[in-house]
Structure 1
Amino acid sequence: MGFTGLARWINPPTSGLELITENIVRNHHGQSRGRWNLSIRSYRSTFGSIPGLQIPAERSICALTMNDNVFVLLEDPAAPTRADVLAGIQNITSPADGGPSASAMVPPHYRTAYLTLRPPGALEQILGQLNARWVPVRQVSTSSQRSQGTAQQLSVEGHVFAIGSDWLVRVGNVILAGGAVKGMLLEAEYLPLPVLHSQSADGTSELLSNMLLSVLPNIRDAKTVAVAVSDSQWEEVLWDREEEERQGRETSLPKDLDDIFVTGDEGLPCQKKGDWIGADRDRRSAFLIIGALRSEGIL
């Protein structure tokens, strides 16, 4: 698995998927590698309906199912971001001077939480067992019995192509709950590089953007948007509280300088996992897709 870029084709014709497929096969000598299928369910909290309980903003959940994993993004607009809390901790006075301690400023949760669940259906099972106050968000209104008790089902359906030995390209229609098509998603994966830090401020990659543009058919007035997330946003959403606490405990342990096995490199940072390898790649890809659809009001 490699580094991934995402784009939205907002106004494709009804034959958009066929046109892209023809372009990839004819002009890029692409080879089919199977189907691309994703599903997204969304929920909203009902705490605001409890008498006497004032909720300033409504919480939301988006759950994207990709292969055997479900990537769950929970957002509480009333909670602070981790960056805001860290900035506040740096500016506080010491407790001896009457100011709050750093531990007192850490909230029980931050604005966003991003979880990985397995197998598909685990989220619905947890919500059911806990009798949690979450209800589905619907894209279209319907009175059919089949839709009762289920969350909004949005799907991405398309194809996966290999271009040479370096590229995987995924293209698919975004299909709403009622069956209407709401544009397309295009994802290009550059296999040789598991990590690629963009030099641009918005986090886009010229290499991936050029590939995505090249697979689009030459259609007049086509509206496309590159989907990117800055490094600060990645740090916020992919932050792992348990991992940070574990590293903090390790750095606070006293070291025996007389130990004959001390080599002098114990204080150096450990090597991190690749940004776009295995489940990490899928986590980032899912977050990009959820963010793109939410920014357009589709979720």
Structure 2
Amino acid sequence: MCALTMNENVFVLLEDPVAPQRSDLLQIQPSEGLPPVPLTGPGAPTHYRTTFLTLSPPGALEQLLAQLRARWVSVRQSGAPGVPQRTQASGQQLSVEGHIYAIGTDFIVRAGNVILAGGAVKGMLLEAEYLPLPTMKQSTDGTLELLSNLLISILPNIPDAKTAAVTISDSIWEEVLWDREEEEEEVEKGPPQEESDDIFVTGDQDVPSFRKGDWIGVDRDRRSAYLIIGALKSEGLL
């Protein structure tokens, strides 16, 4: 379990290595005469490998786990009086402190130092956001050439410096955004009604003006938090 606090929200990543991935079940071809593997409801897995939660306000997760007497204890509470000591190894507590820069009206660049609990600086996180486009086409290796070139031009030329680019494919992000309850509600609603013969109906009344996962508000923070956690895990800091 990894938790990241940003503004007034806490983003929690839960990973179970032995649980299946939803995408893997979608690719399973059922044998002839057998029903497909259910993703929800009876016969479906109780959970999948990755669960990404958004909680508010900060501290609510620790209070809930304390009331449930869960085995997991936040590293911010591990040294507090009255908190029982756990036999498992304590996790790492990090903070990212920096600034947000605007380049014209097109780019937003967020830069921050990764600081350990003892004050040691382990590196810097750079995040670039291109405002004119909500999504950008990725190359075959999953990178975004425009943003990658921008970050390379910003980084100082330090000898022997290690640079790691972190991106996320649309398929992985779709897996993260999947909501079991939302899909079950859509199944209960059934197929959409047939189109109306009314000449004043344009046909786009059911098209949402806001799509889940758009780079707006807390959804932007969700994707940013997921990438930051992934970057820190890939560097062995979490």
TM-score range, shorter chain: 0.7 to 0.9
Counterpart among 16, 22, 37 of residue 76 in structure 1: 16
For the aligned residues, what is the CA RMSD?
Answer: 3.2
**Partner SS, residue 114 of structure 1:** strand
Gaps spanning 5+ residues in structure 2: where? 85-89
Alpha-carbon offset, residue 101 of structure 1: 6.2
Question: What is the alpha-carbon distance in structure 1 between the residues aligned to residue 208 and residue 196 of structure 2?
Answer: 23
* Structure with greater Cα Rg: 1
Alpha-carbon offset, residue 93 of structure 1: 4.3
Q: Does 1:161 align with 2:104?
A: no
Query: Equivalent residue for 1:175?
Result: 115
Q: Deviations over 1:130-177 (max 9, x none)?
A: 111214569xxxx9768x769642101111112222222111111122
Question: What is the alpha-carbon distance in structure 1 between the residues aligned to residue 73 and residue 166 of structure 2?
Answer: 29
Q: Indicate if the aligned counterparts of 1:203 and 1:228 stay in contact, CA closer than 8 A.
A: yes
The AA in structure 1 aligned to 2:64 is I
Query: Equivalent residue for 1:286?
Result: 225
Counterparts in 2 of 1:184-263, with a 5 A limit?
A: 184-193=124-133, 195-252=134-191, 255=193
Gaps spanning 5+ residues in structure 1: where? 1-60
Moved more, 257-266 or 114-123: 257-266
Question: What is the alpha-carbon distance in structure 1 between the residues aligned to residue 223 and residue 196 of structure 2?
Answer: 44
The AA in structure 2 aligned to 1:247 is E
Alpha-carbon offset, residue 115 of structure 1: 0.6
Change in Cα spacing, 1:167 to 1:266, as seen in structure 2 (3 Å) is closer
Alpha-carbon offset, residue 106 of structure 1: 1.4
Question: Which structure is higher in RCO with an 8 Å CA cutoff and minimum separation 6?
Answer: 1
Identity in percent: 63
Question: What is the alpha-carbon distance in structure 2 between the residues aligned to residue 236 and residue 202 of structure 1?
Answer: 19
Q: Deviations over 1:85-106 (max 9, x none)?
A: 2223x424445xxx68635541
Question: What is the alpha-carbon distance in structure 2 between the residues aligned to residue 129 and residue 80 of structure 1?
Answer: 29
Alpha-carbon offset, residue 286 of structure 1: 0.4
The AA in structure 2 aligned to 1:176 is L
Query: Equivalent residue for 1:124?
Result: 62
Specify which structure has the higher proportion of strand: 1
TM-score normalised by L of structure 2: 0.82
Alpha-carbon offset, residue 226 of structure 1: 1.0
TM-score normalised by L of structure 1: 0.66
**Partner SS, residue 226 of structure 1:** coil
Q: Deviations over 1:174-203 (max 9, x none)?
A: 11222221111011122222x213231343
Specify which structure has the higher proportion of helix: 1
Counterpart among 47, 51, 58 of residue 109 in structure 1: 47
Question: What is the alpha-carbon distance in structure 2 between the residues aligned to residue 191 and residue 116 of structure 1?
Answer: 24
Q: Deviations over 1:258-282 (max 9, x none)?
A: 8758958489765524621111111
Change in Cα spacing, 1:100 to 1:205, as seen in structure 2 (3 Å) is closer
Q: Indicate if the aligned counterparts of 1:201 and 1:230 stay in contact, CA closer than 8 A.
A: no
The AA in structure 2 aligned to 1:242 is E
**Partner SS, residue 252 of structure 1:** coil
Q: Deviations over 1:214-255 (max 9, x none)?
A: 1112222322111111222111112122222233333436x4
Q: How many residues align?
A: 229
**Partner SS, residue 227 of structure 1:** coil
Question: What is the alpha-carbon distance in structure 1 between the residues aligned to residue 214 and residue 195 of structure 2?
Answer: 34
Counterparts in 2 of 1:260-275, with a 5 A limit?
A: 265=203, 270=208, 272-273=211-212, 275=214
Query: Equivalent residue for 2:87?
Result: none
